[in-house]
Every structure is written in structure tokens, then in C-alpha cells.
């Protein structure tokens, strides 16, 4: 006879998290996964009753019927139901919908919340169930209705007036406009010529090249050296070569560099882009796996990082105590500050969740490397090292600034020498832009000492326009301007690139012609929708809804009247824009027409202009100027269907099976004669490296910044 024993039911969002919880809890618990939202506004209609005070119309999402049937079945036999969806607005809304579906009273303490998927965290959460937080639910409803009104009202207008398949969105349109505005700045920028003079100054106490130090012309007659042209630069260089320099001032001091705070969602996406070359979407995909649980040899399935959608830099007292106990054991007492390092988050940061950190500081990346995929290991190591470094001592540097003067010319040396590694023993933060490293040994100069100056060189430079955004710097800009929230950064960037408004080349984002056209139209007719301050203020109003200071429908009531006026004006004034497809020189092999370029889900492709009569389509084939190292035929640049990663293969495939993830070069290795490949190091260097793994000869040819401006 089957057992009639009642079990307790826990409902989470993801199947991976459900499996992890099932391994933690005994047979008295059943764990089901909702697989995200179970109810939403319908796709086939706007789903918001504008005439009835913007009442949303929720329906069961297509495909969720079987999932809900399974949940209902388990709920009937459950003595207690716990809603354990993610601890954010979206998760709260999912729990609210589940409560309605399962007939749970909103006053029941059915909601449990945990910020790490560990056995201890789950057990603690089960001791403290609470009611559903309607502030969070209403903030999610307000955002969802706002986004639906903007998307479903403007998008059909763009379809009718510009091109089928276009869309507008409250956050995506602002992000696109930021990329467009940056491009306008670049196009309007007028470079100015300037020259720099550098030299090598010797240290009398040392011999050879190791006894020389780089100096640059800093002052002319006591004023900042401003050299506008080459003839002036050469005249000054001649004077330097014949001058006799003396140390006129010498300043030696110590500086300290403090560690960065533990990761927020935004800072993790930025650093993973810089250090690991991950897209924002890939970062969130991999860190989700680390949060929901990975199978660790000897431990079973464990969530190894805390909740991943957060803009707080706070860590729990328990985690802080464990870390301060671990640092002196691992690195020595001198690496632990007397009092904990304290970090301040952004002014409008939500402090509900901790920063992203490892759930157990004693679980080092090296210990569990064999249990993780390559991507999981690299991202976990990044999170782990940043967390440990955040509570270590600052790095200490001895610095020297020396002025070498003759008559009215002053050459300046600045250098710093690390005297205590501090947190840099484990981690150093990266930057989007190239940083000059000045860490070096310092000369033993003294004031009044005569210094020989050699190798005087002049270099022409031009002021540079602002750099195009990378995914990392766009995320930082969105965060700084208060646009969107941690959960929206990655999907926003994915949307604007997949829609063809923004393209990416060498990690840099630039607007397409379509992106510029749609942005111009939005600026003219929907100025407030793409206004950065307006969008940031809307985020603040959503925060007020969560804090139950403002009814959620009031946000919509205040927004809609002016929005409706903008819509009416746009519908009557915008004339239909015909976007002609770019014609290629490739002939359709089915009907003979010249193929045209189209934008698809995975980027541009070639299609026959006679569609639908002719449905021929083909990928864009790009050849590189390097012959196949195996057979001498042309090499093609391709895109992997599975990983969407660029690779290079022979045009004679499958007869020739040559393939390379790195770009092959025509040059031969000067050491072993194999072919060379182009790589980019994490320091931002462009390397030419031998493809022969037993050789690996390499040479630095440029930096990412230099390569961009070539």
C-alpha cells in the first residue's frame, strides 16, 4: 500500500537549484521547479487594461501547463508549502503568482529566502518563513506594465514606419542612444597634434642599461611643456642632447593602494569582460551555475557563490569573521588589517543582498578545479580572489619624483617600487583603458647630483576621441547613471545587439545605421523615453514602490498621459522610411539576383532579394590574407554554431581539416618555422605567437588601445 505520509513542498525557480536542494534535504521534503515565471502578460495583445486603471491581465505562460500540473499534484499531498524563488523582485512576483494558483493565503508565512544554495542557508531559511513582500511584487508589476506599454505601443509604430521586426524598450532604447551619443562624440572630435620628448637618465652608481631610467620633458621655463609641432620638438631635443642636467628636486614618499570591494553584479560583469573576455550574457550564465550548485568531488552538489543579482558591497558578519580568520593562516598576520575594511556602495544601491562571494572561503579554486568546467573555474577564481583581497592590507609603494634641470628645461622622472604586496599578492583590479606601469627599481639620486641624459627621442601624438563602449564600460555607465538594475544589464546588451541596433567589433560597441536611425526617431518623438535622467528617475520611483512609499499604479498614471500624446503625434507625423538592403556582389545561385545583406539572430547574412519567391540564403564568407598552413588554400573566418565564437578554417574542408581558434598569420616563427597566430593577452597586449605548443615563441606588437587607432 502506498504511503499516505505528508511531505513538505519547496518550490524554486530552476531545476538545477531543485536538484541541489533535494540532495540537502531528507525524504520529508519534495522540491519542484517553476522554471521561471509561470504567469505573465499575453504575447498576443498588450495585456494592460488602460481604461480600467491599467489593470494587468495575467495568463499562464504557454508551455508551463505540465509544470503547474506537477506542482499542483505535489501541493495537494503537502503538509506545508514553501515558496523559495529567487530573493529579488522577479522572484517575489513568481511566488505571488504561485500563491494565487495554489490557493495560498497572502497572509500565510509561506515565503522563504536564502542568498546562497548551501545546506546551512536552506535550514536557516526554513526556520524563518515570512509573508510575501507586496512591495517587491508591486515594483515588479509597475516595471512590467511600463515596459509592456512602451514596447507594445512604440514597436508596432516602428514596424509600420521603418521596418518589420524592430522594437523599442524603456531601457534598451536608452542604452542604444548612449552608444549612438558616444559615436557622435567620436565623429565630432577634432584631433590636436602634440609632441612628447623622452630620454634615458643614468644613475652614476649603476652600470649598463639597468642603470638608466626613463624621463620626459615636463617644464619649459617653469611652465608645462606644450610642444605643438615637430620642428619645435626637434629644436628642444637638440638642446637636451647638449645640456648638462642636475637633480634640482627630489621627493621620496610612500603611497598605499587599497583593495577593491567584493563584486556586485555590475563589477563582476565588467571584470569578467576585461580579465576573461566574457560577454555579459556569458558571465551571468556561468555564475548562475556556480550559484545554483555544482557537483564537487567529495562534497556532492553545492552552491559555491552567493546570490548573483546584487548591487551591494556588504558581506555578512559571519562571512567577514571566517575571512579574517583565514587570511593570517593562508598569507600571514601582516596581511590582515587591524580592523575590517569597510566599503560604501552607490547612493541608490539596494542593500537586500550581500556582495557576490564564495559560500566557503576555505574552498579554494585550486581545490575544486577538477570539479569545474574551464569557464566555471576561471570565474570562481575571479570571485574568490576578489573577495579574499577585499579584506587584506593595502599594497605599499615607495615613490620617487625627481626633476632634472638645466637652464629653462626640466626633465621629470616618476617611479614607484612595491615594498609590501598586501592584497596584490592575490588580486589586482583591471581597467578598460590601457594603464602605463611605472613600478620599477628606483635610482639612488640625490639633490645636486649631475646626471647624464642619453637616447633623447621625440614622438608625435594626437589627442584621442573618447573610446567606444565595451560591454564592460557600457554596464558601468548604465549603473553610474542609474539605468536598469543588476538583472537587466546583460539582457539589455543582448537585445540591442540581436536587434541589429548595435554591433561589436574587437570588443567595442558601435551603432549600426539602423540603430542611429531609430535613435534619431526616438529622440524626436519620444524624447523622455530615451532621456537618461528621466529613465534613472523612473528607477528611483520603482524603488519607492518597493519601499511601499508609492502605489504602483500611480507610477503608471503619472507616466501614461504624456506618453499617449507622444504616440499620437508620432503616428500622425512620422513618414514611412524605406530602408534599402545593402546589395552585395554575390549572385544568387538559384535565380541570378544579387544577394542582399540581412540581419538575423546571429548577425548578418546574405539573402535573395526576391524572397519569398526565392528563399535562398547563405552565410557571409570572410577570407583572411593568410594561406592555409596545411595546403596553401584560402582561410575563411567562421562562427561556431554552438558557442558563437569566431574561428578560422580552410576553404577546402573537408578535404583539408585545418582549423584554429586563433587568427593564423602569414609570418613564420623565427625560432622553429611553424606558422604564427595572433592573440590578445589579459594585459591588453596584442601578441604574435608561435602555434607550435612546444615552441611558443612570442612577441608583443601592440596594445589593444594602439591597435584600435591604427
Active site residues: 307
Contact 283, 272 (CB under 8 A): yes
CA distance 136 to 125: 19
At residue 279's C-alpha, the angle toward residues 533 and 274, to 5°, is: 90
Find the helix or strand (DSSP H, E) in which 141 lies.
helix 134-161
- Tell me the three cell numbers of residue 201: 637618465
Count of CA atoms in the C-beta half-sphere (13 A) of 594? 7
Tell the residue number behind the cell numbers 583591471, with chain if given: 430
At residue 182's C-alpha, the angle toward residues 176 and 183, to 5°, is: 90
Residue 130: closest CA among 114, 148, 147: 114
Backbone angles phi and psi of 264, in degrees to 5: -95, 175
Tell the residue number behind the cell numbers 536598469, with chain if given: 484
234: burial class by Cβ within 10 Å (0-12, 13-18, 19+)? middle
CA distance 597 to 587: 12
Measured on CA atoms in the order 203, 208, 213, 214, is the torsion positive or negative? positive
Contact 336, 327 (CB under 8 A): yes
Backbone dihedral region of 433: left (phi > 0), alpha (psi from -120 to 50 degrees) or beta? beta
Contact 574, 584 (CB under 8 A): no
Find the helix or strand (DSSP H, E) in which 666 lies.
strand 663-668
* Through-space distance between the first and last CA atoms of the chain, rounded to whole angstroms: 78
Q: Burial code of 111-131, b = ≥16 C-beta within 10 A, e = fewer? A: bbbbbbbbeebbeebbeebee
Residue 668: closest CA among 634, 649, 695: 695
- Tell me the three cell numbers of residue 466: 573618447
CA distance 403 to 216: 10
Backbone angles phi and psi of 332, in degrees to 5: 110, 155
CA distance 179 to 515: 9
Contact 325, 319 (CB under 8 A): no
Amino acid at each position: 500500500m502506498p504511503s499516505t505520509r505528508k511531505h513538505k513542498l519547496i518550490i524554486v525557480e530552476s531545476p538545477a537549484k531543485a536538484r541541489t536542494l533535494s540532495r540537502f534535504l531528507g525524504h520529508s521534503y519534495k522540491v519542484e521547479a517553476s522554471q521561471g515565471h509561470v504567469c505573465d502578460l499575453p504575447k498576443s495583445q498588450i495585456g494592460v487594461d488602460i481604461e480600467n486603471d491599467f489593470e494587468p491581465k495575467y495568463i499562464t505562460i504557454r508551455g508551463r501547463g505540465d509544470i503547474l500540473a506537477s506542482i499542483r499534484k505535489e501541493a495537494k499531498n503537502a503538509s506545508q508549502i514553501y515558496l523559495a524563488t529567487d530573493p529579488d523582485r522577479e522572484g517575489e512576483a513568481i511566488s505571488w503568482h504561485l500563491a494565487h494558483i495554489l490557493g495560498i493565503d497572502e497572509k500565510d508565512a509561506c515565503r522563504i529566502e536564502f542568498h546562497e544554495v548551501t545546506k546551512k542557508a536552506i535550514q536557516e531559511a526554513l526556520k524563518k518563513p515570512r509573508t510575501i513582500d507586496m512591495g517587491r511584487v508591486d515594483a515588479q508589476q509597475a516595471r512590467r506594465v511600463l515596459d509592456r506599454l512602451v514596447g507594445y505601443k512604440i514597436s508596432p509604430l516602428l514596424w509600420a514606419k521603418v521596418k518589420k521586426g524592430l522594437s523599442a524598450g524603456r531601457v534598451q532604447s536608452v542604452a542604444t542612444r548612449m552608444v549612438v551619443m558616444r559615436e557622435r562624440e567620436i565623429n565630432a572630435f577634432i584631433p590636436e597634434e602634440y609632441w612628447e620628448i623622452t630620454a634615458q637618465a643614468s644613475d652614476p652608481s649603476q652600470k649598463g642599461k639597468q642603470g638608466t631610467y626613463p624621463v620626459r620633458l615636463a617644464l619649459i621655463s617653469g611652465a608645462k611643456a606644450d610642444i605643438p609641432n615637430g620642428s619645435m620638438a626637434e629644436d628642444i631635443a637638440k638642446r637636451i642632447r647638449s645640456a648638462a642636467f642636475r637633480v634640482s628636486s627630489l621627493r621620496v614618499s610612500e603611497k598605499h593602494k587599497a583593495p577593491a570591494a567584493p563584486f556586485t553584479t555590475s563589477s563582476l560583469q565588467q571584470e569578467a569582460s576585461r580579465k576573461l573576455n566574457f560577454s555579459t550574457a556569458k558571465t551571468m550564465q556561468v555564475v548562475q551555475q556556480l550559484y545554483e550548485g555544482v557537483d564537487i568531488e567529495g562534497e556532492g552538489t553545492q552552491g559555491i557563490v552567493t546570490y548573483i543579482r546584487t548591487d551591494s558591497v556588504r558581506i555578512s558578519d559571519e562571512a567577514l569573521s571566517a575571512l579574517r580568520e583565514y587570511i593570517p593562516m593562508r598569507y600571514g598576520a601582516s596581511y590582515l588589517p587591524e580592523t575590517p575594511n569597510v566599503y560604501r556602495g552607490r547612493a541608490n544601491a539596494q542593500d537586500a543582498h550581500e556582495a557576490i562571494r564564495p559560500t566557503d572561503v576555505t574552498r579554494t579554486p585550486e581545490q575544486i578545479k577538477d570539479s569545474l568546467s574551464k569557464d566555471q573555474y576561471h570565474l570562481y577564481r575571479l570571485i574568490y580572489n576578489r573577495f579574499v583581497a577585499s579584506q587584506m592590507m593595502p599594497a605599499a609603494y615607495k615613490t620617487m619624483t625627481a626633476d632634472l634641470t638645466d637652464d629653462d628645461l626640466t626633465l621629470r622622472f616618476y617611479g614607484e617600487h612595491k615594498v609590501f604586496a598586501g592584497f596584490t599578492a592575490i588580486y589586482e583590479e583591471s581597467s578598460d583603458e590601457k594603464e602605463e606601469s611605472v613600478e620599477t627599481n628606483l635610482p639612488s639620486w640625490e639633490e645636486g647630483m649631475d646626471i647624464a641624459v642619453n637616447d633623447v627621442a621625440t614622438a608625435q601624438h594626437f589627442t584621442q576621441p573618447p573610446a567606444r563602449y565595451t560591454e564592460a564600460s557600457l554596464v558601468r555607465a548604465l549603473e553610474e547613471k542609474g539605468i536598469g538594475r543588476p538583472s537587466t544589464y546583460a539582457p539589455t546588451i543582448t537585445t540591442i545587439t540581436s536587434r541589429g541596433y548595435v554591433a561589436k567589433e574587437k570588443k567595442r560597441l558601435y551603432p549600426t545605421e539602423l540603430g542611429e536611425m531609430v535613435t534619431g526617431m526616438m529622440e524626436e518623438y519620444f524624447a523622455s523615453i530615451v532621456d537618461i535622467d528621466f529613465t534613472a528617475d523612473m528607477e528611483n520611483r520603482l524603488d519607492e514602490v518597493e519601499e511601499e512609499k508609492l502605489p504602483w499604479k500611480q507610477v503608471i498614471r503619472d507616466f501614461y498621459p504624456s506618453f499617449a500624446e507622444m504616440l499620437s503625434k508620432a503616428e500622425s507625423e512620422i513618414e514611412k522610411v524605406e530602408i534599402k538592403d545593402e546589395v552585395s556582389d554575390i549572385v544568387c545561385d538559384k535565380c541570378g539576383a544579387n544577394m542582399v545583406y540581412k540581419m538575423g539572430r546571429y548577425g548578418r547574412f546574405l539573402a535573395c532579394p526576391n524572397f519569398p519567391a526565392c528563399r535562398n540564403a547563405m552565410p557571409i564568407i570572410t577570407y583572411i590574407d593568410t594561406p592555409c598552413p596545411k595546403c596553401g588554400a584560402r582561410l575563411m573566418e567562421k562562427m561556431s554554431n554552438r558557442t558563437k565564437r569566431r574561428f578560422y578554417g580552410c576553404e577546402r574542408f573537408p578535404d583539408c581539416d585545418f582549423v584554429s581558434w586563433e587568427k593564423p598569420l602569414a609570418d613564420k616563427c623565427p625560432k622553429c618555422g611553424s606558422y604564427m597566430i595572433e592573440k590578445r593577452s589579459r594585459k591588453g597586449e596584442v601578441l604574435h605567437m608561435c602555434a607550435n605548443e612546444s615552441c611558443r615563441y612570442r612577441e608583443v606588437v601592440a596594445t589593444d588601445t594602439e591597435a584600435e587607432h591604427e
